[in-house]
Amino acid sequence: QQPVQSPQAVILREGEDAVINCSSSKALYSVHWYRQKHGEAPVFLMILLKGGEQKGHDKISASFNEKKQQSSLYLTASQLSYSGTYFCGTDLTGTASKLTFGTGTRLQVTL
Amino acid sequence: GAVVSQHPSWVICKSGTSVKIECRSLDFQATTMFWYRQFPKQSLMLMATSNEGSKATYEQGVEKDKFLINHASLTLSTLTVTSAHPEDSSFYICSALTGIGTYEQYFGPGTRLTVT
Which one has a higher pLDDT value, B54 or B45?
B45
Mean pLDDT of A90-108: 88
Query: Which of B43, B49, B108 is closest, CB to CB, to A2?
Result: B43
Closest CA to B76 of B11, B111, B17, B29: B29
Mean pLDDT of A22-43: 91
Residue B17 identity: T
Instruction: Give me the total of CB pairs closer than 8 Å, taking one residue from chain A and one from chain B.
Output: 49
Closest CA to A106 of A20, A39, A32, A40: A20
Confidence band for B109, pLDDT divided at 50, 70 and 90: very high
Mean pLDDT of A80-104: 89
Predicted pLDDT of residue B105? 85
CA distance A68 to A23: 8
Percent of chain A with pLDDT over 70: 93
pLDDT by residue (tens digit) across B85-95? 999 999 999 99
Which one has a higher pLDDT value, A52 or B36?
B36
- Are the C-beta atoms of A79 and A68 separated by less than 8 Å? no
Confidence band for B101, pLDDT divided at 50, 70 and 90: low
Classify A85 as helix, strand or coil.
strand
pLDDT exceeds 80 at position B98? no
Confidence band for A96, pLDDT divided at 50, 70 and 90: low
A40 contacts B110? CB cut-off 8 A: yes
Query: Which of A40, A96, A104 is closest, CB to CB, to B109?
Result: A40
Mean pLDDT of A40-55: 81
A87 contacts B44? CB cut-off 8 A: yes
Which one has a higher pLDDT value, A57 or A59?
A59
B108 contacts A41? CB cut-off 8 A: yes
B43 contacts A102? CB cut-off 8 A: yes
Gap between the terminal Cα atoms of chain B? 37
A41 contacts B110? CB cut-off 8 A: yes
The least confident of A52-56, A97-101, B77-81 is: A52-56
B102 contacts A96? CB cut-off 8 A: yes
Which of A92, A98, A107, A108 to probe the B interface (max B CBs under 10 A)?
Answer: A98
Chain B residues near any Cβ of chain A (below 8 Å): 32, 34, 42-46, 49, 93, 97, 102-110, 112
Predicted pLDDT of residue B52? 84
Average pLDDT over chain A, rounded to an integer: 90
A41 contacts B105? CB cut-off 8 A: no
CA distance B34 to B46: 7
Phi, psi of B83 (to 5 degrees): 45, 60
Phi, psi of B88 (to 5 degrees): -85, -10
The least confident of A2-11, A23-32, A43-52 is: A43-52
CA distance A100 to A97: 10
